[in-house]
Each structure stands twice: as C-alpha cells, then as structure tokens.
Structure 1
Amino acid sequence: MDTYTSQPTPLAGLTGRRVLGADGIGAATLPFDGGRIATGRSAGACLDAGDLLVLPGIVDIHGDAFERAVMPRPGVSFPYQAALFDVDRQLLAHGITTELHGVTLSWEGGLRGEAYALRMFDALERQRPFFGASHFVHLRFESYHLTGIDTALDWMASGKVKLLAINDHLPGMARRLGDELKVVQYADRAECDSDTFRSRLRQASQHAAEVPAAMARLIAGARAAGLPVASHDDPDRATRQHYHRQGCAIAEFPLTVETAQMARQLGNDTVFGAPNVMRGGSHTGAPDATEMVSAGLCTVLASDYYYPAPLQAAFHLARLGVASLPAAWDLVSRNPARAAGLRDRGTLAPGLRADAILVDDSVPGFPRVCATIVGGVLRHATQGFGLAAPQPARAAA
C-alpha cells in the first residue's frame, strides 16, 4: 500500500525490538518531534515495528538510474515530472530516504547536456511537494566541457547542487571511436548521429591544455559554495593526490587498489558501487568492492545504476561475514551522509532527522523493506502496523 497523501500526518514515534542505535541492535523507542528524533516521552502512540529491523534510512550519494526512467530506450525520452515520481516510489521501496541524483553536464549533449539538466532542476522543484524521499543533485561535470564552466558555477552558487564530482570520460570514449556499435550508443544518448558525436568529441579534446586550470576554477567555486567535491574514476595515486590538494575529499570509484589506499591515507572517503558487491565484482574491471570493504578501503557504497543495490549489498556483506550489519549499514547511511555534508541524518539519534526503514530479514539473502519513514512521516508501507501506547525515549540496548 502507498501511504502518501498531500497532507501527511507525522508519526508520534517508533518503537521496536530490533532497532539499530549507537550501541548496536536492540529494543528502543524513538519519539518524533518536528520531523526529528526527540528525547522524553512521545506525544502519542508510536508505530510498533515488532521484530522487524529498524535501520537509518539509506543515503545514496550517487545514483543515475533515473536516466532510464527519463530515457528508457535510446532516443525515447519522457517528461521528467512523471519519471521522477516513479523514481521516488522506487527509492522508498528500496529504503533510500535521501537520494543525490547524478546529473551529468557534458560536452556530449542530449541526455547529459544542459537542456536535460535544466529539466531535472525544474522537475525536482515542481515535484518536491509530492515526493516521499529527499532529493538532491550530485553534479557530474565532464572536465573537457569548458563552455559549461560558468553554467555549473551559477548552478552551485544558486543552491541547485549538493555535491560536485569531476568526471573525465572523454579519453575512454576516444579509445572506442573505432567501435561503431559503441559510438552509436553514445550518439543515441547524445541525440545525434555518429558523425556528429565524433565531431563533438574531437572538438572537446582540442582544449586539453586548458582543462586543469578550468577544473581548479570549478572546484574553487564549489568549495566557496560550501559543497563537498569528488573526483571520479581516479586512475592512479598521483591523480588522487592532485585532487586532494585542491579540496576534493571524496574518491569516487577509484580504479586501482593503490589509488584507494592513497585516498584512505589522505583521510578521504572512498566510494564504490553497491552493484559491484551484489555481482561479486565490477563489470568494468575496477577493484572488487567486497574486497575493498574487507580491506578497509571503502567507506561508502552507492547505488550507482541500480536502486535496490545498497540495501541488498549491506545485508550481503553481513551474511558473508565481511562486516557486521551495523558496520555494513554505516557504508550506506552514516558515512555517505557525512561525506555529502548532510549532518542531520544517517543515524537514529536525538536531534537528527526521523528517517528510518523497517526491514523484514527473515529470508536469508532477501531483505525486504516493509515501511519507509522520512522526516517522521510514513511514506511507504507494504503491510499494516499496530500502535504502541506513548512511551519514554529508549535507546537501543
């Protein structure tokens, strides 16, 4: 059942026998007040989670699966408002209470061009009253798109962006220009023909010497706006050190173990894909995310291109014995919230947002979200829940 209404009624609190708190999983009661977790006695009856696991809502620092809702087939696009409404329901069903959508601004154009990004910003603003989850933009800026620098700076200064990531996919695309099938795929996404796509790539590549200074300017603009900054697909230690010196404290999908090691030595967060964990490895030959978690080289898992992945990956890591469930859950909630500068969420603690999910983990390997609470409001539920009489706050024990 979908519990959304245009005027949702806040819950007075949440109680359960298996709540993940600062000291682990145990019985706890969480009073809500003004969309946050409070202290003292709840103002009314609390939703009773019973034996379901109560976990902090997932904070997804990088997800671009919305692109499939907007353009489900190459060259076939749909309005953002309807697409994002569907995406919002997917997020809630998979326990994601905060999503940072990976919106790309690239020299490619089409789906990853300025016009589509503007549609995204407009739709997010229009749909905000109808969303259940919290939606933000993670701007993925392609480094060779020099004509887009001022646009990106304006977006960041105006508050449209929550996180900036520097991407550099042009060299990899250039190496595939002889693969006609791949070029057609690129061109379809860019809404042009193959020859036009090749022309755009070659034109962008002519300005390679200007890229470092342009990226330094963009990063400085992000930092001035108070935004966290990531570099994407760092290929080596030198690249990570370079971006770290400029204030990029997040290494997003480092391409080698040595790069991830350098990032952690520098105190940077390291982001890997939750689908990588689920699949038992990367589909692009990047480091195995499960091994990175085991080695202490992964601090954040993101949905990347598949919204169900963070929930499933955390439980998979716990089932394998790679990490305890609380430690695995930090990778999809507490740590990404901290990395993204969202200090008001990520754990179930007094003063923080009342973002929580109720999970049925009775079938090994198949956790299912039964309810999702965002800002103290029940936004998604697959079953009915009883109410418990008003109770004093009680931490997990």
Structure 2
Amino acid sequence: MHTTIQPQSPPLAGITGRRVLGAAGLGPATLGFRDGSVAPQAPQSGPCLDAGDLLVLPGIVDIHGDAFERAVMPRPGVSFPYPGALLDVDRQLLANGITTEFHGVTLSWEGGLRGEAYALRMFETIAQLRPVLGAAHKVHLRFEAYHLAGVQTALSWMAAGRVDLLAINDHLPMMARRMGDERKMQQYAERAECDVETFRSRLRAASGNAQEVPEAMSRLIAAARDAGLPVASHDDPDLATRQHYHRRGCRIAEFPLTVEAATLARQLGDDIVFGAPNVVRGTSHTGAPNATEMVAAGLCTVLASDYNYPAPLQAAFRLAQLGVLDLPGAWKLVSRNPARAAGLRDRGTLAPGQRADAILVDDRQPGLPRVCATIVNGELKHAAAFLPLVDLADAGTLAA
C-alpha cells in the first residue's frame, strides 16, 4: 500500500474580506502578501483567501504568557519532555489567534520548573522546533531579583541573543510571608522539585542577598538596555518602585499592584501591562486593580495572556461588548501596543510593510469569538473552518 503525501499549498497571494481591520478601521479590503509581509497593493493574481463576513484582524502579540508551564508540568512534580509540550502549546496559540508569543521563562533561586535547567530546555526546544512551529516563539526572561547566583547566567543568555525581553520579578517577600503556610510551601516545593524543608532553606538563603540585590539588578538592566532589549518591572507596589525602575530604563510596568503605580507609569510615558484574564473574569485573582477599570481610565496600554492563552482574544471582545472601547481600540491592546512595547515595529497592524500575521474571527455569537484561521508570515498555519480560495485573475471584483 502506497501513501501519497500531498505537496504544500502555494503561498497565499493575499486575503480579501468585507470586515478587515486596517488603518482606517473596519471595512472591505483586499490585502496582498509578498515575502511574508503585507504588500503595498492588492494582488492581481494567485490564490487569495476569501474571509467573507469573518473579521480579519492583526495577529495577537502576547508579551507575557506562562501557561506553557502547565504543558511542561501538568501536575506538580510531573514533567513532560519539552518538544511535545511546546508543540502542543504552539497549537493552542494558533487556535487562540496568538501569532507572536513571549514565553515567560523564569530564572529563580527556587529551582525546578523555574530554574536554569528548564529554561535551557526551552531555549533548545524553540531552536530545534522552529522549522515546524506555526507561531513566532520568543522568550520573556522573568528574573527573580534575589537570585544573585543567576545574574551571570542571565547576562550570558542576553549576550547570546536568547532573550527577547527582560522582566525583573521579586516574589520572595510574598513567599517569605507564607513561610508558615504548609499548603503553600508544599506547592512551591513541588514546583521546585524538592522537599518542603529544602525549599525553606533556599528561601532563607536567597533572603540573605538583600543588600546586594539593587546593584545586581541595575547591572542586569543596564546590560539588557545595551543589548537593545525592552525591560519591565513586575508587580510594582508603589510610586517609589515604579520611579526607581523607570530611572533605570524599565519602560514597561507589568501588572502594577496599585492604581497609583499605574498612574505614575502613564505620566512617565511607560507601557502598562495588565492581565487579559482579569478582564475576562471581571477581577484579579491576586487582588490587583481591576483591569477593565484600568483600561477605561487610560491606565492600561497592553493586555497579556498571563496564564490563559484564550484570554487576549476574549478580553478585547469583552471590552468592546461592554462599551469600554470600540473593537479597533480594544484590539490595539493585544496587537499593536504589545508589539511596540516589545520593540517589534514589524507587526501588530495590517499595513503595507508589516508582517502578514492575521486571524479570521467568527464573532456571530456574542461574547464568544472563535478563531477560524490563523495566518503567520503570509502562510496559513491554522484553519478550523472551510475557507474558500479564489484566484484573483479569475475572480473579478472582490472586496476593495
């Protein structure tokens, strides 16, 4: 018995639809693709995807997503090989309209899932699977401030071009307050792949680095800036912290814990990231400011998936449904703005010269948008519905 493998379909010449989100808003348009980018003019021939009445939107750029950790370690202490896990994550991203993903890889004194060995597996797997991955996979290095032993490692990773965004995290004080909570300590220990007493010892040892942390973080931030990397500070609790990190070149306030910190970030011209799950759920799971209210107040420029890949898509539509923003305005929070915050000037909008990253969305059911197709770099990478291809040379007048 012989199996015939069909050749790949030819690259798309473009896409046409009656509701395409362009610079002038939503309207009929035909976009041409050339060498993975949006062409200056509509194509005259070749296969063109006909979106019909589906929404055609720029692909989602997610600058903070750590839901991959659940694919790697679906249960505490139960880890799976990275290649299969990352391939599964890639399919999740495409199905949820995310065309560029910044994986929140943590380098922490904790060890285990958030230690050096797991981070190295992520780097190696992304490089290994790049030819078969559909989305663009990048690394957002979440560096735990008290992990002084990891500073040189992080510096070497940045110098080698393995890191695409640096964020300074400091979860140690919160963990230290929970030292007597056996249930939380057990959870932390399982993630760190050690017993509870070993985890407590690691926490105490890291706590002893307090006096050296500011200088070490200044060094790390300076190296990132010299390498041209965007830098974020995570969970700013107050005005002083945001001012401190802004002065050192951290121009992204990621998940500020107070309205005051977010307000100062806005006054300083910094980007402000909140979690898209916060919008979808209507509240923060940690007691942080309500993201919907922050968007309404102009105190949020970016929404990130955080721990739930479907959330950016759902959050943008929810904001439009609530009347907080119109859909083009809400979509900037998950596409154009995160791309700019991450220093990516080549994506985030469907404009000539930009990467041809687009998604087709069925929005007929209110509050439940569904991604029907995902195009990355001009190639169809995911399809969940029948979508006709037309040859423009024979099709006559399409959307224009």
TM over 0.5, shorter chain: yes
* Structure-2 change in CA distance of 1:134 and 1:112 (3 Å): same
- Taking the aligned partners of 1:8 and 1:159, their CA distance within structure 2 comes to 33
1:15 partner SS: strand
Q: CA deviation at 1:8?
A: 6.3
Q: 1:273 pairs with 275, 300, 303, which one? A: 275
What secondary structure does 1:110 align onto?
coil
SS of aligned partner of 1:91: helix
Contact kept? 2:30, 2:42, Cα under 8 Å: no
What does residue 11 of structure 1 align with?
Answer: 12
Contact 1:10/1:35, CA 8 A, preserved across alignment = no
One-letter code of the match for 2:16? Answer: T
In the other structure, the counterpart of 1:263 is: 265
- Give the drift of 1:234: 0.3
Corresponding letter in the other structure for 1:204: A
Q: Is the 8 A contact 2:31 2:41 kept in 1?
A: no
For residue 305 of structure 1, what is the amino acid of its counterpart?
Y
Structure of greater relative contact order (alpha carbons < 8 Å, 6+ residues apart): 1
Question: Partner of 2:372: helix, strand, or coil?
Answer: strand
SS of 1:317 mapped into structure 2:
helix
SS in structure 2 opposite 1:112? coil
- Residue of structure 1 in register with 2:380 after alignment: 378
Instruction: Give yes or no for contact 1:8–1:377 (8 Å, CA) kept in 2.
Output: no
Letter in 2 for 1:258: E
Match status 1:26 vs 2:27: yes
Q: Tell me, what secondary structure is at the counterpart of 1:353?
A: coil
Aligned to 1:329: 331
- Aligned residue for 1:242? 244
| Counterpart secondary structure, 2:242 | helix
Runs of 5+ consecutive residues of structure 1 not aligned to the other structure: none
Residues 207, 129 of structure 1: CA spacing in aligned structure 2 closer, same or farther, 3 A cutoff? same
Letter paired with 1:22:
A
Instruction: Report 1:51-66 matches (<5 A).
Output: 51-66=53-68
Match of 2:3 in 1: none
CA change 1:379–1:173 in 2 (3 A) is: same
Q: What amino acid sits opposite 1:290 in the alignment?
A: T
Alignment partners' CA distance in 2, 1:10 and 1:306:
31
Supply the AA of the counterpart residue of 1:155: W
Cα drift, residue 10 of structure 1:
1.8
Q: Equivalences for 1:59-208 in 2 at 5 Å?
A: 59-208=61-210
What CA deviation, in whole Å up to 9, does each residue of 1:255-277 have, x standing for no partner? 00000000000000000000000
- Summarize deviations over 1:274-307 as a string: whole Å, max 9, x none: 0000110101100000000000000000000000
The percentage of counterpart residues that share the same residue type is 76
Uncovered stretches (5+) of structure 2, i.e. residues with no partner: 1-5
Cα distance in 1 for partners of 2:104, 2:40 equals 36
Q: Equivalents in 2 of 1:305, 1:6: separation in Å? A: 37
Q: State how far apart, in whole Å, the 2-side matches of 1:159 and 1:331 are.
A: 27
* Cα separation, 1, equivalents of 2:292 and 2:7: 41
Amino acid at match of 1:163: L
What SS does the aligned partner of 2:53 have? coil
Q: For 2:384 and 2:42, how far apart are their aligned partners in 1?
A: 28
The CA deviation at 1:7 is: 5.6
Judged with a 3 Å threshold, the aligned counterparts in structure 2 of structure 1 residues 6 and 241 are, in CA distance, closer, same or farther, namely farther
Deviation at 1:50, TM superposition (A): 0.2
What is residue 38 of structure 1 aligned with on the other side? 39
Task: Supply the distance in 1 between the matched residues of 2:392 and 2:352 (Cα, whole angstroms).
Answer: 17
325, 333, 341: which one aligns with 2:343: 341
Residue 390 of structure 1 and its aligned partner are, at CA, apart by: 2.2
Post-superposition Cα deviations, 1:95-132, rounded to whole Å, max 9, x if no partner, equal 00000000000000000000000011001111111100
* TM-superposition CA deviations, 1:320-346 (whole Å, max 9, x none): 001100000000000000000111000
User: Structure 1: how far apart are the matches of 2:134 and 2:386?
Assistant: 18
